[in-house]
Structure 1
Amino acid sequence: MKNRLLLLLLLSVTLANAQSEITNAKRIEIKAQVEKETNKLKDSLTKTNNGSDIPLDIEFKTDVYRVEKLADKKVGIDDSTSGMTTAIVELNNDYDKLLNKYYAILMKKLQPKDQEKLKIAQRNWVKFRDSEIQLIATVSKNEYSGGGTIQSNIMAGRISDLTKNRLYVIKEHLDQFID
């Protein structure tokens, strides 16, 4: 009887902790939740600072909040190694979209004669990013890292950090402008 009770307990704990796949319906639901939370943050930032924040600062903060909160919620649904890696890869894609958005804003603020400098800097960053990704993949090999399934999360996180850091550098350039 004890063995059956123990088996039943273990089975119920396993089922309770089982990861669930993120369905399209669940994606829509969490996007709606995140959008609601993002709007609250935007309202809070606007009220707290009595409108003293530059609208671009508020937009940037809410954009970053949105993509990071979405990733958090995805991991909350599927916290398996595979689920976390997928969430981080999607987070990197979202950071990349934001990077493109704020790069375009910076490009528009620059005079045409100075836009080429930004293009060159961005091309050089892309070369750096690509070579850094190769290095990340190399040091993540089993022979160097000891292996394990967690390596996919570590790699995805480090790659995502590259894009996030570049996004913040572009934002710092935008912060230099006097409007």
Structure 2
Amino acid sequence: MKLVVGVSGGSGMPYAHAVLAALRDAGVDTHLVVSSGAKRVMAAEGGTPTLADLVSLAAHVHDDRDLGASVASGSFRTAGMLVIPCSAGTLAKIAHGFADTLLTRAAHVTLKERRPLVLVVREDPLPRPALVNLLAAHDAGATVMTASPGFYHAPRDVAELLHFVTVRVLDQFGLDTPGMRRWGQDGGTP
């Protein structure tokens, strides 16, 4: 499986790190695109994870300024794309087809080719323009998720909260992630 992973400037870089680690462990051929905003947020969040940490988990890394990269073309076949975290600005660009960076171009191509596109928004509260953009992205064919972990599995630490979101994101691509207690299954609550 080949999957494009975009990381934009929303807070929550540990989500990107957890998803990339799970994809690597699942043997998925990842194509990583990190926005300049994401790089700034990584520094602001204390540098954990770092850009080097994310890059070390990806099979391929593309410069967000390279609109000629493979992932910018519909003829480059993938199983889809996810953007985690997805900032409000990136959401707006994707929702309205503004493909001025590789990340937004790859998302546009994913929608154009009718492949799964998952946007994991990590922002609160959501003002009306963001709500409108969430709906526009949904109507364009994206799956919109929030980085909102559940608590019915009785998480004991932050890693388990990250794991919950990781599992839900990878579920959208039909990927199983070990270690998740699901509702009504595998020892999960009713």
Q: TM-score, normalised to structure 1's length?
A: 0.25
Q: Which structure has the highest helix share of the two? A: 1
Q: Which structure has the larger Rg? A: 1
| More strand, by proportion | 2
TM-score between the two structures when normalised by the length of structure 2: 0.24
